[in-house]
Amino acid sequence: MERMEVTETFAGIALPGHLHTQESLGFAAAFAFRPTDVLIATYPKSVPCQAGPALTPSSAGTTWMQEILTLLFSLGDARPAKTIPNWERAPWLEQIYCREALRDTETRRLLTTHLPAHVLAPALQRSKAKVIYVARNPKDVAVSFYHFHRLAKFLPDPGSFDAFLTQFLEGTVHYGSWFDHVKGWLGQRHLLDILYVTYEELHQDLCGTAQRLGTFLGCPLAPGTLTALEQHCTFAAMRDNAMANYSLIPPEIMDHSQGRFMRKGVVGDWRDHFSPQQNALFNQRYQEEMGDMELPTQWPMA
Ligand SMILES: Nc1ncnc2c1ncn2[C@@H]1O[C@H](COP(=O)(O)OS(=O)(=O)O)[C@@H](OP(=O)(O)O)[C@H]1O
């Protein structure tokens, strides 16, 4: 299947052109956040669309967080998560369909972004909106992102894993450098009402992390919400939920014959992909970039 790759460049980073225009990106940068808005911010490796689907990348737990917050806001009622695609429940601020998706939305708005902090920080700092930043071990991000490139026809052909990893470490992949993204959002910790969560924490203790989210959002968990989370936010449940697994995306945009968006959902898959040389190079680059950073978690890098 042919790639439909068109690139839009904004703030120095390349983005899929079928989803982003200068107008849509300008809309995001100047967004009038409301105090009740909740923004999920992640470095990519996966997906949203509009009435007829599109996609973007992630790998950080975006889709998982969208599902969890949908259930928190619905007080455990699974119907929205089962009937409304996640790109409508939590639209990507920077994508072309967002303005229309938010028209007439009066209730609490759940938004998503893959944009770097420096683009959104001025608008966020003018507001009291809450931000939830989700991060994941970058080695697993690189693996997940690589596999996603194989499906996503709007992204460049990744070539070999080795070639892709080189670009990932150089920050020349779409959405830019993982290191810059994480450092940028961590740098907002004293300037925004922001909570940092990791993919690994969600794995380790979904309910405990959900309770922390509820406290941060001023939305204590209703009886039954935890049960609903345990039921609907597992990897298996989300893999089978067409409103969360991107199976609705047409094959010319996402070639489902190449694999699934909900691929493995595990921690540490990099160990099955990295050669010792790749691992050493990654560790060196990680140390150079992140050496002194205070991180929400220490990922096992060895
Ligand atoms: N419930 C649950 N449990 C465990 N893992 C999960 C879950 N939901 C999504 N995932 C995994 O998250 C990866 C996709 O990342 P994102 O959702 O950030 O992608 S995107 O930005 O929305 O494109 C992708 O990771 P990989 O499987 O490693 O590729 C998904 O499988």
* pLDDT tens digit sequence for 99-111: 998 988 888 899 9
The answer to whether residue 118 scores a pLDDT higher than 50 is: yes
Q: Confidence class of residue 54 from pLDDT cuts 50, 70 and 90?
A: very low
Q: What is the pTM of this model?
A: 0.94
Q: Please give the distance, rounded to the nearest whole angstrom, from the Cα atom of residue 210 to the centre of ligand 1.
A: 17
Q: Does 264 contact ligand 1 (Cβ within 6 A)?
A: yes
Segment 240-287, tens digit of pLDDT: 999 999 999 999 999 999 999 999 999 999 999 999 999 999 999 999
Segment 61-75, tens digit of pLDDT: 899 999 999 999 999
- DSSP letters along 238-275, please? HHT-TTTS-TTS-TTTB-GGG--SS----S-GGGGT--
Under the phi-then-psi rule, with left for phi > 0, alpha for psi from -120 to 50, and beta for the rest, what region is 268? left
Site of tokens 């204590």: 220
Segment 122-163, tens digit of pLDDT: 999 999 999 999 999 999 999 999 999 999 999 999 999 999
Residue whose CA is closest, atom 2 of ligand 1? 235
Q: Confidence class of residue 1 from pLDDT cuts 50, 70 and 90?
A: low
Is residue 119 a contact partner of residue 29, using CB atoms and an 8 Å limit? Answer: yes
d(CA 292, CA 290): 6
d(CA 210, CA 221): 8
Residue whose CA is closest, atom 1 of ligand 1? 235
Q: What is the mean pLDDT of residues 187-202?
A: 95
From the candidates 20, 114, 147, 181, give the one annotated as an active-site residue: 114
Annotated catalytic, 114? yes
Q: Choose the weakest-confidence range: 46-55, 275-284, 291-300.
A: 46-55
Q: Please give the distance, rounded to the nearest whole angstrom, from the Cα atom of residue 104 to the centre of ligand 1.
A: 30
Q: Please give the distance, rounded to the nearest whole angstrom, from the Cα atom of residue 185 to the centre of ligand 1.
A: 20
Q: 166 has which bridge partners?
A: none
Cβ–Cβ contacts within 10 Å for residue 205, how many? 12
Would the ipTM clear 0.95, i.e. be above it? yes
Q: 15 has which bridge partners?
A: 8
Is residue 216 a contact partner of residue 134, using CB atoms and an 8 Å limit? Answer: no
Segment 9-21, tens digit of pLDDT: 999 999 999 899 9
Is residue 56 a contact partner of residue 77, using CB atoms and an 8 Å limit? Answer: no
Is residue 22 a contact partner of residue 10, using CB atoms and an 8 Å limit? Answer: yes
